[in-house]
Structure 1
Amino acid sequence: MRVALIQMPVTADREGNLRTAAEKLRQAAAGGADIAVLPEMFCCPYENRCFRPYGEEAGGPAQAMLSQTAAETGMYVVGGSIPELENGRVYNTCFVYGPDGTQLARHRKAHLFDIDVPGGQRFKESDTFSPGDSITTFKTKFGTMGLCICFDLRFEELARCMCLRGARVIFVPAAFNMTTGPAHWELLFRQRAVDNQCFTVGVAPARDEAGAYVSYGNSIAVDPWGTVLSRAGAEEATLYADLDLDRVEAVRTQLPILSARRTDLYEVGER
């Protein structure tokens, strides 16, 4: 299964971002991708003041572009994330579309990025976003896939639940910053891959040093043994990672962690 990791630049021009994303999706298809992944907030700057004005309701222009391009190219498209509007709330949401343009999944970021590191990064998504409340997996012809967004990856329970549902790859549109990225980006993707014996794929925006929020970039694909298969730098790039999904079963057979779970050890209450 060939995956395209599209580390694209994001500007204040929403229509321009959508055109860029559509063109890069077409290029990914021409490169043989079966699944293409866009970054978190690929259609607008990653700033609280932008999320509501750039937001869209069901069937909005970003969703329409993703669906149409998936159908045009015959790929699965993991649509990064966009600000989704519903009933007065704003969600950080990823939509996934199948090769016929049908929506296969919608994940609303469950763990909002509220961080305050003295001398480093301060950001509170909860000033604008409402949290989602779902574990998200979706079916493809390659099997079951998992989906979360950025800060969600820090919560091992969420990744484990996806894999217990059968996920063999966890896709993570993300936008780590220059404080958390150098410290934790590769560590977390390798850790979740090893913990759950699955592939992990993280896709970030290209770095813009002049932006109010500076993305770390470094889009990455990791195999179930914790080996980094592909990794970008800071610049605009499209990477291709060829995932041998038989590797998941091989590693899980060699080290039967999931099947050896002692659920009795984690029951709540006195024994």
Structure 2
Amino acid sequence: MVFKAAAVQMCSGVDPEKNAESMARLVREAARRGAIYVQTPEMTGAVQKDRAGLAAVLRDEETDLIVKKASELAKELGIHLHVGSTAIKLADGKIANRAFLFGPDGKKITSYDKIHMFDVDLDNGESWRESAVYRPGERAVVADLPFAKLGFGVCYDVRFPHLFRAEAMAGAQILTTPAAFTKQTGEAHWEILLRARAIENGAYVISAAQAGVHEDGRETFGHSMIVGPWGKVLASAGGTGEDVVVAEIDLEAVKACRAKIPNLKNGRDFALDIAPVLAKGGVTV
């Protein structure tokens, strides 16, 4: 099957209502350009590093503004709409960094909670502790859609190839990594990671990103991207501000790549031995 997919690039602020309006405008543009699958970035609903500010706009899944608007848009446009993620209030006081997929009837097909938490100290002074606020997910997700099997990930998940290998082994032909990558890590690794996940799994990778300087002072890398299963970048946005990138997805290309390099079939289980260190004279120490 051949169809068009789109990655919507945003620069979300702290107000979910304004972000929902921006999302709607950009998703409509993607649909106008022929995309039947449209993906938005991580934290579509609000990019807000102030915990009190984020808490003030949090809602549960049933009343969340982005969830409601995405459902309406999917039905209005007759598309599959993938909200890369938005912050969802949980009953235990924690927050889920949750992705949603809506079908053309407006109903939720599935959701996915980001598994790997971005707990790092960067050498430019930035420090992130997602686990202090967010509850990590515990399940990988593959959605069997009419046009393809879709595997889920969010941002930092892209650095954990075993997640996407598991999804590819379960039949995923498209892997997704919507993100809000920092500028420093994005400049160093973004494209390399996306192309690597595509190549090693013989799959398309679609990654909608946040881009530019946000209201809360954060700066994200952008460069929303669609990568083919042979590792070629099929479409890419710039590094600042809103954009919509569209590419043609041909599932025969997935089949062809996996036939040329059948590493999904050729993988083998193995044991791991930790060899002892030898001194110069060959004596084990």
For structure 1, which segment, 105-114 or 42-51, has the greater mean C-alpha deviation from structure 2 after superposition? 42-51
The answer for the alignment partner of 2:61 in structure 1 is 58
1:229 to 1:122, Cα distance in 2 relative to 1, 3 A: same
1:70 partnered with 2:71: no
For structure 1, which segment, 157-166 or 113-122, has the greater mean C-alpha deviation from structure 2 after superposition? 113-122
The answer for the alignment partner of 2:107 in structure 1 is 102
Q: In 2, are the aligned partners of 1:48 and 1:125 still within 8 Å (CA)?
A: no
Identity of paired residues, percent?
32
> CA separation in 1, counterparts of 2:153 and 2:55?
21
Deviation sequence 1:179-207 (CA, Å, 0-9, x none): 11011100100111111110111111121
> CA separation in 2, counterparts of 1:6 and 1:174?
11
> CA separation in 1, counterparts of 2:24 and 2:183?
27
> CA separation in 2, counterparts of 1:135 and 1:192?
16
SS at match of 1:79: strand
For structure 1, which segment, 203-212 or 66-75, has the greater mean C-alpha deviation from structure 2 after superposition? 203-212
Q: How far 1:22 sits from its partner (Å)?
A: 1.3
The answer for the alignment partner of 1:174 in structure 2 is 179
Q: In the TM superposition, what are the counterparts of 1:221-260 in structure 2 within 5 Å?
A: 221-235=226-240, 236-260=242-266
Q: How far 1:66 sits from its partner (Å)?
A: 0.7
Deviation sequence 1:152-205 (CA, Å, 0-9, x none): 111011001111111000111101111110111001001111111101111111
Which structure's CA Rg is the greater one? 2
Deviation sequence 1:127-156 (CA, Å, 0-9, x none): 211111010111211121001100011101
For structure 1, which segment, 121-130 or 52-61, has the greater mean C-alpha deviation from structure 2 after superposition? 52-61
Q: In 2, are the aligned partners of 1:191 and 1:226 still within 8 Å (CA)?
A: yes
1:257 to 1:98, Cα distance in 2 relative to 1, 3 A: same
> CA separation in 2, counterparts of 1:150 and 1:183?
15
The answer for the alignment partner of 1:163 in structure 2 is 168
Q: In 2, are the aligned partners of 1:10 and 1:17 still within 8 Å (CA)?
A: yes
Q: Which amino acid aligns with 1:42?
A: T
Q: In 2, are the aligned partners of 1:120 and 1:179 still within 8 Å (CA)?
A: no
Q: How far 1:58 sits from its partner (Å)?
A: 2.1
> CA separation in 2, counterparts of 1:2 and 1:185?
23
Q: Which amino acid aligns with 1:121?
A: E
Q: Which amino acid aligns with 1:58?
A: E
TM-score (norm 2): 0.89
SS at match of 2:211: coil
> CA separation in 2, counterparts of 1:210 and 1:18?
15
Which segments of 5 or more consecutive residues in structure 2 lack a partner in the other structure? 274-285
Q: In the TM superposition, what are the counterparts of 1:1-40 in structure 2 within 5 Å?
A: 1-40=3-42
RMSD: 1.6
Q: Which amino acid aligns with 1:111?
A: H
> CA separation in 1, counterparts of 2:171 and 2:134?
29
Q: How far 1:53 sits from its partner (Å)?
A: 2.6
Q: Which amino acid aligns with 2:154?
A: I
Q: How far 1:117 sits from its partner (Å)?
A: 1.6
Q: Which amino acid aligns with 1:251?
A: C
> CA separation in 2, counterparts of 1:211 and 1:55?
16
